[in-house]
Amino acid sequence: MRGVIDDDPYLWLEDISGEAALAWVAERNAETAAALAGDPGFAELKRRLREVLDASDRIPYTVRRGAFLYDFWQDAEHVRGVWRRTTLEQYRKDAPEWEVLLDVDALAEAEDEKWVWAGARVRHPAYDRALLLLSRDGGDAVVVREFDLATRTFVEGGFEVAEAKTRIGWIDADTVFVGTDLGPGSLTDAGYPRTVRRWRRGTPIEEAALVFEAETGDVAAWGHRDTTPGFEREFVGRSPDFFRTEMHLVADGGELVRIDVPDDADAYIHRQYLIVTLKSEWLGHPAGALLAFGFDAFLAGDRTAEVLFSPDERTALAGQSWTRRHLILETMRDVTTRIEVLTPPTGGAGGWTREPLADVPALSVAGIVDTDPDVSDEYFLDVSGFLQPSTLSRGEIGGDSEILKQAPARFDATGLEVRQHFATSADGTRVPYFVIGPDRTATGPGPTLLYGYGGFEVSLTPFYSGVTGRAWLERGGTYVIANIRGGGEYGPRWHQAALRAERPRAFEDFAAVAADLVARGITTPAMLGAEGGSNGGLLMGAMLTRYPELFGAIVSEVPLLDMCRFHKLLAGASWIAEYGDPGDEADLPHLRLLSPYHHLAADRTYPPVLLMTSTRDDRVHPGHARKTAARLRELGHEVLFHENTGGGHSGASDNEQVAHNDALVHTFLWRHLTS
């Protein structure tokens, strides 16, 4: 194979904080800054993007916990952010009064640490204490500290866990389930907790009682207590790989009772129901179906299911949320959302009933932001589209609804339209994609940015982006989202069609969309750019090495690119189910074929490339992007590289970094696609 590297000369760049590697990174960053940040329009573009990100009239999306609505907020004044709460009465106002619980900027300054907010586990149903998760500069690993919501202070002598990829959750006021790094044998090969322990307040974490243990080769173990009043139960389990889960009920005396559903299904227990989303056929029901069982009856052997959703060729399940008496179901038909309310029978008689919840405009997306399943049938619903800023409504199922917040437009959409087309892939599959921009039949081909992901059953749905609007659409560009296989737009079958050795189907789909854009006169290869991150960064590597003639420029962010070593780098072992196992001789041949890093060659013509990563990305190793940039440079190809020192897998941990990164990307693309 042309360009294959058997003895990798760039392994030294995998040393994340090594002196030589960081010196190399500094040199590349300086080159990129000189090339892009020195552009005459860079500073103004960055300023306008930062203005969008910091805007005070953004919708503060909240989560209800008891009487309060909680929110985490970042802006120019609160760079690292504040965790805060308010009441519904206040939230209805244009300028609510917020009670600040934790100022992360102040904490970072006081402790001289680059803290990044990573979430909170608030104790239910009392809502009096929280386990706060804080990341150092954006990595997945966190420290855990107990926090008192009444006094707004950390609890002295409370639960505290050192930095690790910890999983933790409340059992009761003085006990938690915890899985963390406790030394040799406590983590899986992927770096996640291998054990679940019951840890009592005031005792050393090392002495916490072992409840459950996964295998070293599994992805992770987990434990959870259902604290729903009247349905208090404990569950533990393990994830043998990224897509399979084994779940057990912790019965009296600590006995583990296996919940006998397919291990590739998504399953959970809600009150008296076991809810199962199938990824493969089971009990005569197709992959993609949503089933409801009586939980106690299921444990007793009854497999009678109520079918809550069954897919077809154009429709897939997108999400579900419980209120006190109803289940809100989100589905997609050709990647446009539909929402309906399902109501279980009362008194055990009759079947589930259903009715629409809200009308959703075509080529738009609607999603349930939050519900209050313990107490009421309240729901918060957000509706938006590519050219339609978000509208947030609150309602009660069976009652009235009210518009709470409407986001203002962030860019001039005059003359822009949204269309959906279908490309035909190499094997004849119809692949949907969205086009946002001017009518090119009137203007002729123009600069176009094609974005894709194509993995892990992640669906790319319509969304409103002020950043994309200002950086690309306002300037006359066309923006395109490709719904390629590997994603979840059409349910499990769409994802499974591009698994492991079948990954090239996703690449072929993306290339088919690129070719279709040219055939429709929307753009030309010289004016067509491509962008993707993480698994989408692998997609960009495939476009570079397999279809370079289709593109005028490519941006690959926090990417996987060395598919022969990914399992040895950070969390890479957890993705073996998606790609295959480089340590297995049966998988290695197709992984070599998939690996962009191993197919770079001097005698091919590549479009200009921008590679972006983060030193603090402890999920996808920065070595992927570093080594690929070094190899492209060695072979004489045009490549720029930027590595943010913080930010984790998102590539940025605050709005300043986000604006800077986005300005780099769009300056690079605009320069190459309009010259």
Long-range contacts of 421-430 (CB under 8 A, 24+ apart): 421/516, 421/520, 423/509, 423/512, 423/513, 423/515, 423/516, 424/512, 424/516, 425/485, 425/505, 425/508, 425/509, 425/512, 426/508, 426/511, 426/512, 427/505, 427/508, 429/485, 429/497, 429/505, 429/509
Q: Which residues lie closer than 8 Å to 359 by C-beta, 6 or more apart?
A: none
Q: Is the pLDDT of residue 3 over 90?
A: no
- How far is residue 108 from each of residues 79, 80, 82, 116, measured CA to CA in Å? 11, 8, 12, 9
CA 159 to chain centre: 28
At 615-625, the pLDDT tens digits run 999 999 999 99
Q: Looking at the DSSP assignment, which residues form a beta bridge with residue 7?
A: none
The model's pLDDT over 143-185, given as tens digits with 9 standing for 90+, comes to 999 999 999 999 999 999 999 999 999 999 999 999 999 999 9
Q: Residue 104 is inside which H or E element, if any? A: helix 104-111
pLDDT for residue 81 is more than 90: yes
Tell which residue, 529, 511, 600, has the closest CA to residue 563: 600
Residue 251 has pLDDT above 70, yes or no: yes
Closest CA to 591 of 611, 614, 607, 568: 568
What is the distance between the alpha carbons of residues 539 and 620, in angstroms, rounded to a whole number? 14
Output the pLDDT for position 1.
44
Please name the residue that has the structure tokens 């947030």: 392
Q: How would DSSP label each residue in 55-96?
A: -TTS----EEETTEEEEEE--SS-SS-EEEEE-HHHHTSSS-
Give the residue numbers annotated as catalytic, written as ranges: 534, 649
Sign of CA dihedral 434, 435, 441, 444: negative
Identify the CATH homologous superfamily for domain 11-51+410-674. Alpha/Beta hydrolase fold, catalytic domain (3.40.50.1820)
| Domain segments of the chain as ranges | 11-51+410-674
Where residue 479 falls (left for φ over 0; alpha for ψ -120 to 50; beta otherwise) is beta
Residues 329-346: tens digit of each pLDDT: 999 999 999 999 999 998
Residue 326 tokens, joined:
């109803």
List Cβ neighbours of 413 (8 Å cut-off, separation of 6 or more). Answer: 387, 469, 473
8-30 per-position pLDDT tens digit: 999 999 999 999 999 999 999 99
Question: What is the model's pLDDT at position 5?
Answer: 66
Mean per-residue pLDDT of the chain: 96
Question: Which pTM value belongs to this model?
Answer: 0.95
Q: Strand pairing partners for 210? A: 197
Decide: 596 and 529 in contact? Cβ < 8 Å.
Answer: no
354 and 344 Cβ atoms separated by less than 8 Å: no
- Opening angle at CA 324, ends 68 and 268, nearest 5: 100
Q: Please state the separation of Cα 607 from the chain's center in Å.
A: 28
